[in-house]
Amino acid sequence: MSADNKREHFGSRLAVILAMAGSAIGLGNIWRFPYMVGEHGGAAFIIVYAVATLLISLPVFIAEVVIGRRSHTNARDAFARLSHQHPFWRRVGYLSIVIPLLIVSYYSVIGGWSVEYFFKACGFSFTKMAPDAASSVFGGFVSSTWAPVLTHLLFLAASLGVVAGGVRAGIEKFSKLTLPLLFVLIVAIMVYSVTLPGEGAGVRYLLHPDWSELTPRTFAYAMGQSFFSLSLGMGAIITYGSYVSDHENILFTSAGTAVSDLLFAILAGFAVMPAVFAAGIEPSAGPGLIFQSVPFVFSKMGADVPVLSALMAIFFFVAIIVAAMTSCISLGEVLVSFLMERFGLTRVRSCLAIFLFCGALGVLCSLSFGPLSGVKVAGMTLFDIFDWLCSNVLLLVMALLAVVFTGFFLSRREVHDEFTSRGRYAFNDRVFPLVWFLIKWVAPVAVVIIFFTNFIL
């Protein structure tokens, strides 16, 4: 039996979509998207974000799936195998390992914040405190030493525990159980959020674009957010693509993932932003936005219906944890796949190695809000550096390399074979010229322009 046949595969088309959508739908939508909207012009940012997702990020997504399925190996070795061990592309592959290492390290810190807030919700903390106090709890927690470190390690261990279960028994089952729950919960909190006193300003902020807020930097950050949200340039989509069977419809699964991610991000915006304005919090409050605004919602609700408030708080932070885990799991799988296939480690040992390395880096990121807050480079803490470097530099570089590799190193016939599943899907064949044009010419130019915009403006 060949090595390719020994590799695990997702069990069905639904499993592929849910797993990839689970990788995409995560804290990038609930945590990062609302505060990026708040910092960059509200509705105008959302429109740019939607256009960028469909015209640029989706072709990049397809390119990464093609690389993964064509190679049937881990993200690092995919470039080496398809390039026939070309020295440059062999080195490029290592970047797809470095990026998830960095992201998992600080992403799990945010996941740990969610765990802490879940514990607070279970203790009915938000229903017992005044709304003004609820929005100020966040700063006290993240600036402490041990509590955020412990929750970070707990979250990381739970995520890697799912990865240790394997592709079908771990990742696939987790995605099937949790992704539908995420949509139900985010819609529920959105419905309540838009009924709060003072929510009107938040809704208008999301629906009425202020075109004067649009700048070249807005486009750059919208693209960076789109890449971050869809897990592009992280090696995750290449890795998941390697688990997709040869007869699966790449266009259907890729478009389904992108549209699901876009819809969830908009729902998250409507769940969080009205609460932000109702609480009187600045929309540009930054990474702590949902941890300041959402507790206000539950404390406000607790004055009228305490039981409902407590339940909603518990369910919401369960959703946050699950969203964070789906993304962390996909990044963990990138690293586990590499360690298993490159060094022959078992899944469990690979997960343990990742836990030790990313756990240690994450501790430093967590402490950068407290004891290490004075340690800065160019005015940024270690957490800020990891977030900025990954979102605005490394993801763009890796995504650019992926589309250049697909558009210029792989032949048109090779990409066509993967995109159409060797002629199985007639519609894919008809739209292939457009997709090929977007991958080869539009996406690379857009990524280069956005990359330099981050540094010039």
Domain that holds residue 363: 3-456
Q: Which residue has the higher pLDDT, 261 or 198?
A: 261
**How many domains does the chain divide into?**
1
**Confidence tier at 410 by pLDDT (50, 70, 90):** very high
| Separation CA 40–CA 217 (nearest Å) | 9
SS3 annotation, the chain: CCHHHHCCCCCCHHHHHHHHHHHHCCHHHHHHHHHHHHHCCCHHHHHHHHHHHHHHHHHHHHHHHHHHHHHCCCHHHHHHHHCCCCHHHHHHHHHHHHHHHHHHHHHHHHHHHHHHHHHHHHCCHHHHCCHHHHCCHHHHHHCCCHHHHHHHHHHHHHHHHHHHCCHHHHHHHHHHHHHHHHHHHHHHHHHHHCCCCCCHHHHHHHHCCCHHHCCHHHHHHHHHHHHHHCCCCCCHHHHHHCCCCCCCCHHHHHHHHHHHHHHHHHHHHHHHHHHHHHHCCCCCCCCCHHHHHHHHHHHHHHCCCHHHHHHHHHHHHHHHHHHHHHHHHHHHHHHHHHHHHHHCCCHHHHHHHHHHHHHHHHHHHHHCCCCCCCCCECCECHHHHHHHHHHHHHHHHHHHHHHHHHHHHCCHHHHHHHHCCCCCCHHHHHHHHHHHHHHHHHHHHHHHHHHHHHHHC
What is the share, in percent, of the chain residues with pLDDT greater than 90? 54
Number of other CB atoms surrounding residue 27 within 10 Å? 26
Determine the pLDDT at residue 252: 94
Model confidence over 171-229: pLDDT tens digits?
A: 988 988 888 888 888 888 888 778 777 777 788 888 888 888 888 888 888 887 888 88
pLDDT for 59 beyond 50: yes
Determine the pLDDT at residue 222: 86
Q: Which residue has the higher pLDDT, 271 or 334?
A: 334
Q: What is the mean pLDDT of residues 38-59?
A: 90
Report the DSSP beta bridge partners of residue 148: none
Q: What is the mean pLDDT of residues 114-127?
A: 89
**Confidence tier at 248 by pLDDT (50, 70, 90):** very high
**Confidence tier at 312 by pLDDT (50, 70, 90):** confident
Residue 430's contacts (CB-CB under 8 Å, 6 or more residues apart) are none
Torsions phi, psi for 219 (to 5 deg): -65, -40
Q: What is the mean pLDDT of residues 30-46?
A: 82
Determine the pLDDT at residue 1: 34
In this structure, what CATH number is given to the domain that contains residue 130? 1.10.4160.10
| Separation CA 309–CA 294 (nearest Å) | 11
**Confidence tier at 4 by pLDDT (50, 70, 90):** very low
Model confidence over 75-113: pLDDT tens digits?
A: 999 999 999 999 999 999 999 999 999 999 999 999 999
Q: What is the mean pLDDT of residues 145-158?
A: 97
User: Which stretch, 310-314, 319-323, 430-434, 445-449, has highest mean pLDDT?
Assistant: 430-434
| Separation CA 43–CA 57 (nearest Å) | 19
pLDDT for 5 beyond 70: no
Determine the pLDDT at residue 289: 67
pLDDT for 154 beyond 70: yes
**Confidence tier at 431 by pLDDT (50, 70, 90):** very high
pLDDT for 3 beyond 60: no
pLDDT for 71 beyond 90: yes
Q: What is the mean pLDDT of residues 262-286?
A: 79
Q: What is the mean pLDDT of residues 328-346?
A: 95
Determine the pLDDT at residue 6: 60
Model confidence over 345-359: pLDDT tens digits?
A: 999 999 999 999 999
What is the share, in percent, of the chain residues with pLDDT greater than 70? 93
Two tokens at 175? 């995605």
| Separation CA 384–CA 378 (nearest Å) | 10
Determine the pLDDT at residue 30: 80
Arithmetic mean of pLDDT over the chain = 88
pLDDT for 296 beyond 80: no
pLDDT for 400 beyond 90: yes
